[in-house]
Structure 1
Amino acid sequence: MSNNVSLEDVPFNRFHRLLSLRSSGGSFVDGYVLSIIGIAMPFLVPALAIDSLWESLIAVSALIGIFLGGFVGGSLTDRFGRRVMYFIGPVLFTLCSLLQLWVDSGPGLFALRLLIGIGIGFEYPVATAFLVEFLPRKSRGPRLAGLSIYFFAGAAAAYIVGQALIEAGGADGWRYALASTALVSGVLLLLRMGTPESPRWLISKGFTERAERVIKQVYGNGFGLKNLPEPPKPAKLSVRSLLHAGYGKRMFFVTTFWTCSVIPVFAVYAFAPKVLEALHLDAQWSSYGSMIITMMFVVGCLVATWLVNAMGRRSLLIHSLLWSGLALLLLGTFSEQSSWLIILLFAAYAFLIGGAQVLQFIYPNEIFPTEIRAVAVGFGTSVSRIGAVVGTYLVPVSIQTIGIGHTLYCAAGITFIGLVVSWLLAPETRGIELCRASSLAVDAEPARQPSASALRRAT
């Protein structure tokens, strides 16, 4: 049986659904891991007799690990394949989470949390590369965008499960809470069993026969390499040569917009009660406000996931950065106004930044070729986390020194830097084949949007 349909145009099938669950599970675990430490921290500090230095180091240990894992994981994923690295993160999560049951010192816990963070850093490039290299083009945007939603779901689950285990576990409740990640990551490890290697990566390494077998395994005997729009293996293609060829500009765009959109989000999410208190909201308003802001982050990501194909990547990113930046600017201007107006503007920011949030996974996976796709995601992850750590650290200092109003002006300025860079460099990749989206030809007219008729023909 002969079939000339491109693999990017096949209907979304059972395999795609299972692969989406496998990769989304990684985002769920990431959100769970990064949130559970905040619940356990008040109990583990006295239990382990940890001083303030080690408390601070444990709090940022996972972020440091993500920074290291992003750099290393992206390179390893592009060098050794998607399938191998797909299991490294869950193995690290499971083993290090279980070892937290017996940890007896601050340095020991720091080391385990650092390794967990490295596993998370591995997870971002490999999970997203797997998705984008298998999914039909119509499903790429929404499915990659959905990873952000699973992150928040994991964070919410950590708060619920962690609190229940601490209350039920007595003096060792915090240990059970930290170790509970092992159950979640263990399920993820089992779920990923049987995942085939990416045919695009196999082709990029010259393993065409293996790629042919994977395609037939996933799509049926009627499909083969002829159905996969992927250029053949180049004679010699290094990361350095690709960056010098023009992908360096794309790397600058991805890391800049990603970092500029992450810094205010991490600062607001981590210090929402403190920021609201600085805006003169009482304890009740501050508590309700934090809940509303958290909920609006999720709603914003959900709406952006729905809009990413309808609006297009470029338009969604520019509008998200523009209007969320204006919300922060208004917060700085009206920082002395009524409580309801402040919460409304904060909620508006949380909702409007959703577009930039979901595109953090979409753009680097679509605009880089298979040879450096995971490297680009890993590099963007690492650089953005540097900004997140610095921004989070500076928020309380900034509130004390220059005041809440000027702090919010700074956050707006950072967002507008991302806006300017996106306006100048963001390409439109909606509805086009992955090999064309990752070619430099798309940069020729970055501001040009495809017509509705062209989009229908493409999809």
Structure 2
Amino acid sequence: MTELPVTHAVSNEDDLLLRLDRLKPGRPHRKLMVMGGLGYTFDAFDGAFMSYALSALIVIWHIPKSTAGWLLSSIFAGYLVGALVAGVLADRFGRRRMMLTALLVFCFCSLLIGTSTTVPELFVWRMLAGVGLGAEATLIAPYISEFLPARVRGQFVARTISFLALGYILAGILAPVVIAPHPETGWRIAAVIAALPVVLLLWWRRSMPESPRYLLSRGRVAEATAIIEDFERKCEVDPEALAETAQTQTSAPTQSNVSAGGMFAPLTKLWAGPTARTTLMLWLLWFALTGAHYGFSTWLPTLLVTDKGFTITKSFLFTLVVGIAQIPGYYVAQLLIDRLERKWLIAGYVLGATGSALVVALSDSNLMLLVGAALLAAFLNGVAAVYYTYTAELYPTSIRVTGMGAASAVGRIGAIVTPIAIGYLSAAGVSFTQIFLGLVALLATAIAVVVVLGQKTSGRALS
């Protein structure tokens, strides 16, 4: 990244943070939102597109359901490692470097998925591709949030996360065209298609700046000043005027928050003092919501074929309609996230998801099944825009991405366990209805956790 010139004397850290928080979001903020949003788009596209591909492969390779559960969960094992490691490394070495590395790992391994000839080989490459995806998904929300003022942070991060819906819809459109006509070769083509757009995103992200909050936490004040001034100019604000205003409203300079201890010291801080309650709440919330979400989304195309008698093409089209239903879920979250307290908005969304899962479990017609699945997708995906934002707000800059990564990693444990459990349960004769009633119990747990242990963060400046 090209070094940016500093036009005036370096301000103290309080001044810089106030200027960052007072700056009205403009073109550079929107550019970062699109960069991050496209990352989520391709993450969702790969997850959904390859779920379609693997669902077809399960049928044509005659893979037992118990084995299929492990295969569908392979990416989440990688997600777990990628989320945890990327969080720790990003708090130590920077957000930007890790985001670029994550995309490289994903591209390389995704291409290798298409060369697989056995189930174990496919499992390994899918898991390693998940390492890159897990790192990428973990880093985007905290990175974007560190550039935004408190008054609009929720709305901007929610908009960024809503790009996930585009990926699901794109996958739903392409799956019937690429995979369904010739699944024996279509799934390999799908692996290549999933990787190629990320190469373009990787090239575009070369100009992405490092987070000023991260730089300040490492004592790199001059670099943070240059980036903040560049944002001010692009937002058509005079940096010198803002600096003078900030200096009249701040007190003595703060000390830079350089992380002490070894590389994994931030992980121990997640369980120190009052932060332990936050970490417990987030880990339980992420486990329940991510487990329910991926238990539903990874198995729906397969269960429609094996338990409901749908053809592969019909199941793909059904799932496409469900994917489109995510859009209003994200849109409503964007409207409400800066108007309602985050914890109550999460609880409301999950309550809606719980009711929708009950409709899916008890439906006796394809129409009711479609309505229930569409509502479930809207609530489960819409709430992600809120709890991603919420998680990034609850930790200080020095451990923000570590906290986000650890919560995401625990969520991936839910995403691993749930599809595997569904595979074994389905193989043992447990019905479609009973499986979705199990998801209802997970969602009810999430409501209780956030209501009892959740903190208020709306409008609060990042620490």
Q: Which residue of structure 1 aligns with residue 195 of structure 2?
A: 182
Which consecutive unaligned segments of at least 5 residues does structure 1 have? 436-459
Task: Report how far residue 278 of structure 1 moved.
Answer: 9.5
Q: Which stretch of structure 1 is more off in the superposition, 110-119 or 417-426?
A: 110-119
Q: Which residue of structure 1 aligns with residue 283 of structure 2?
A: 255
Residues in 2 aligned to 1:406 and 1:212: alpha-carbon distance in whole angstroms: 57
Task: Report how far residue 120 of structure 1 moved.
Answer: 0.9
Q: Which residue of structure 2 aligns with residue 446 of structure 1?
A: none
- DSSP 3-state at the match of 1:135: coil
Residues in 2 aligned to 1:390 and 1:364: alpha-carbon distance in whole angstroms: 22
Residues in 2 aligned to 1:104 and 1:330: alpha-carbon distance in whole angstroms: 39
Q: Which residue of structure 2 aligns with residue 319 of structure 1?
A: 348
Residues in 1 aligned to 2:113 and 2:424: alpha-carbon distance in whole angstroms: 32
Residues 1:290 and 1:375: Cα distance change in structure 2 (over 3 Å): same
Which consecutive unaligned segments of at least 5 residues does structure 2 have? 1-6, 234-238
- DSSP 3-state at the match of 2:415: helix
Residues 1:418 and 1:46: Cα distance change in structure 2 (over 3 Å): closer
Residues in 2 aligned to 1:430 and 1:251: alpha-carbon distance in whole angstroms: 18
Q: Which residue of structure 2 aligns with residue 197 of structure 1?
A: 210
Q: Which residue of structure 1 aligns with residue 460 of structure 2?
A: 432
Residues 1:46 and 1:370: Cα distance change in structure 2 (over 3 Å): same
- DSSP 3-state at the match of 1:371: helix
Q: Which residue of structure 1 aligns with residue 88 of structure 2?
A: 75
Q: Which residue of structure 2 aligns with residue 457 of structure 1?
A: none
Match of 1:24 among 37, 42, 47: 37
Residues in 2 aligned to 1:352 and 1:32: alpha-carbon distance in whole angstroms: 19
User: Is the CA contact (8 Å cut-off) linking 2:102 and 2:136 kept in structure 1?
Assistant: yes
Q: Which stretch of structure 1 is more off in the superposition, 320-329 or 51-60?
A: 51-60
User: Is the CA contact (8 Å cut-off) linking 2:55 and 2:302 kept in structure 1?
Assistant: no
Match of 1:233 among 244, 256, 278: 256
Residues in 2 aligned to 1:233 and 1:307: alpha-carbon distance in whole angstroms: 35
Task: Report how far residue 69 of structure 1 moved.
Answer: 0.7
Residues 1:277 and 1:165: Cα distance change in structure 2 (over 3 Å): closer
Higher relative contact order (CA 8 A, sep 6+): 2
Q: Which residue of structure 1 aligns with residue 97 of structure 2?
A: 84
Match of 1:97 among 86, 100, 110: 110
- Deviations for 1:158-184, whole angstroms, at most 9, x for unmatched residues? 343455455899975543321123321
Q: Which residue of structure 1 aligns with residue 422 of structure 2?
A: 395
- Deviations for 1:291-338, whole angstroms, at most 9, x for unmatched residues? 543332332122212211122312211212233324434655xx2655
Task: Report how far residue 93 of structure 1 moved.
Answer: 2.5
Equivalent positions of 1:330-341 (< 5 A) are 335=362, 337=364, 340-341=367-368
Residues 1:375 and 1:187: Cα distance change in structure 2 (over 3 Å): same
Q: Does 1:371 align with 2:398?
A: yes
Residues in 2 aligned to 1:424 and 1:141: alpha-carbon distance in whole angstroms: 22
Residues in 2 aligned to 1:196 and 1:286: alpha-carbon distance in whole angstroms: 42
Equivalent positions of 1:25-424 (< 5 A) are 25-41=38-54, 58-100=71-113, 102-103=115-116, 106-161=119-174, 163-165=176-178, 173-220=186-233, 221-222=239-240, 223=242, 232-234=255-257, 238-239=265-266, 240-241=268-269, 243-272=271-300, 290-329=319-358, 335=362, 337=364, 340-398=367-425, 403-424=431-452
Which AA in structure 2 matches 1:383? V
User: Is the CA contact (8 Å cut-off) linking 1:281 and 1:339 kept in structure 2?
Assistant: no
TM normalised by structure 2 equals 0.80
Task: Report how far residue 270 of structure 1 moved.
Answer: 2.7
Q: How many residue pairs end up in the alignment?
A: 432
Q: Which residue of structure 2 aligns with residue 455 of structure 1?
A: none
- DSSP 3-state at the match of 1:6: helix
Residues in 1 aligned to 2:33 and 2:452: alpha-carbon distance in whole angstroms: 32
Task: Report how far residue 18 of structure 1 moved.
Answer: 0.8
Q: Once superposed, what is the RMSD of the aligned Cα atoms?
A: 3.7
Q: Which stretch of structure 1 is more off in the superposition, 416-425 or 52-61?
A: 52-61
Which AA in structure 1 matches 2:88? S
Residues in 2 aligned to 1:242 and 1:280: alpha-carbon distance in whole angstroms: 45
Q: Which stretch of structure 1 is more off in the superposition, 323-332 or 273-282?
A: 273-282
Task: Report how far residue 363 of structure 1 moved.
Answer: 1.2
User: Is the CA contact (8 Å cut-off) linking 1:301 and 1:351 kept in structure 2?
Assistant: yes
Q: Which stretch of structure 1 is more off in the superposition, 138-147 or 166-175?
A: 166-175
- DSSP 3-state at the match of 1:123: helix
User: Is the CA contact (8 Å cut-off) linking 1:328 and 1:409 kept in structure 2?
Assistant: yes
Q: Which stretch of structure 1 is more off in the superposition, 94-103 or 357-366?
A: 94-103
Which AA in structure 1 matches 2:80? F
User: Is the CA contact (8 Å cut-off) linking 2:294 and 2:419 kept in structure 1?
Assistant: yes
- DSSP 3-state at the match of 2:256: coil
Q: Which stretch of structure 1 is more off in the superposition, 31-40 or 167-176?
A: 167-176
Residues in 2 aligned to 1:55 and 1:397: alpha-carbon distance in whole angstroms: 9
- DSSP 3-state at the match of 1:244: coil
Residues in 2 aligned to 1:171 and 1:318: alpha-carbon distance in whole angstroms: 43
Residues in 1 aligned to 2:306 and 2:117: alpha-carbon distance in whole angstroms: 37
User: Is the CA contact (8 Å cut-off) linking 2:259 and 2:398 kept in structure 1?
Assistant: no
**Taking every aligned residue pair, what percent have the same amino acid on both sides?**
23
User: Is the CA contact (8 Å cut-off) linking 1:328 and 1:412 kept in structure 2?
Assistant: yes
Q: Which stretch of structure 1 is more off in the superposition, 21-30 or 219-228?
A: 219-228
Q: Which stretch of structure 1 is more off in the superposition, 225-234 or 26-35?
A: 225-234
User: Is the CA contact (8 Å cut-off) linking 1:36 and 1:158 kept in structure 2?
Assistant: yes
User: Is the CA contact (8 Å cut-off) linking 1:78 and 1:374 kept in structure 2?
Assistant: yes
- DSSP 3-state at the match of 2:397: coil
Residues in 1 aligned to 2:87 and 2:174: alpha-carbon distance in whole angstroms: 31
